[in-house]
Amino acid sequence: MVFKSYTARLIQRIPRTPTIESFRFLTQEKIDFIPGQFLKLIFDRDDINNKDLNKYLSFSSSPLNNYIEVTKRIGASLFSQKLNHLKLDDRVLLQASLGNCVFKEEYKKIAFLIGGIGITPVVSIVEYIINKQLDTEALLFYSNRTEEEVAFKKEFDAWSNINKNLKIFYRVTESQPKESNCIFGRIDKPLLLEKIKDPNERIFFIFGPPKMVEAMAQLSKEIGAKSENVRTESFVGY
């Protein structure tokens, strides 16, 4: 995949949860990327290595769309505040495409073990599967602290309604959820053993906070996943 710089124009902002927002951009030249990859969004063009103002964000949209989207939990950091102050038609510099933790159409059985904002590359992958009407069988285990912080729930519920090969298991860890398809508790060994009958045949994608990624990678191997089939990406400093 060729690494290039692009100027992108903001065309839409979409709140996903009380703290998470998506930003959609158009570029004159289409960005080619593989579902699961990420980009670098640059606010400090004079110092590309400025880690406070230039950060990596996953694509949260299918590469088949005519726009690209990134999604972030908005906090108090300089980068978050810069992002939060963007207005429609504002332009930013992007570098893309980055990352090797990607989906391939040859993967016929996959599982996602996801925490929090780690859901963003999953959106790109699942939307791509839906758009291309692939027969990939996907199991998504998605954990959040509260029900209100479940990002993209409306989209995932809609996709699972039109694709019988997509099954979603929402877990909430800090409060009893109200919706019947959200279950209180963590992603744990009994849950995975109950829902994944063929772990040695699946590719496992694990995205989220570093400690969660480490724990889920170990858990996937304990239930029978092959080490070479476990793909991980830690989200640091989001």
Q: What is the pLDDT of residues 198-207, one digit of tens each?
A: 999 999 999 9
Token reading at 193: 């053993």
- Residues 205-215 have pLDDT tens digits of 999 889 999 99
Name all contacts of 40-49 with Cβ < 8 Å and 24+ positions apart: 40/94, 40/95, 40/96, 40/98, 41/70, 41/83, 41/92, 41/93, 41/94, 42/92, 42/93, 42/94, 42/95, 43/79, 43/82, 43/92, 45/93
Q: For residue 174, is pLDDT > 70?
A: yes
Superfamily of domain 4-98: Translation factors (2.40.30.10)
Both tokens of residue 82?
Answer: 């810069």
Percent of the chain whose pLDDT exceeds 90: 89
Mean pLDDT of the chain: 94
Contacts of 30 (CB under 8 A, 6+ apart): 66
Q: Angle 120-131/153-162 helices, nearest 10 degrees? A: 30
The per-residue pLDDT for 194 is 96
H helix or E strand, kind and range, residue 94? strand 91-98
- Residue ranges, comma separated, of all CATH 3.40.50.80 domains in the chain are 109-234
Give me 85's structure tokens.
């102050």
Listed in order, strand segments (DSSP E) in 102-191 are: 109-115, 137-144, 166-172, 182-184
- CATH assignment of 109-234? 3.40.50.80
Contacts of residue 96, defined as CB under 8 A and 6 or more positions apart, other chains included, come to 3, 4, 6, 31, 33, 37, 38, 39, 40
Q: Which of 62-76, 152-166, 180-194, 218-232 shows the lowest per-residue confidence on average (mean pLDDT)?
A: 180-194
**CATH 2.40.30.10 placement within the chain:** 4-98
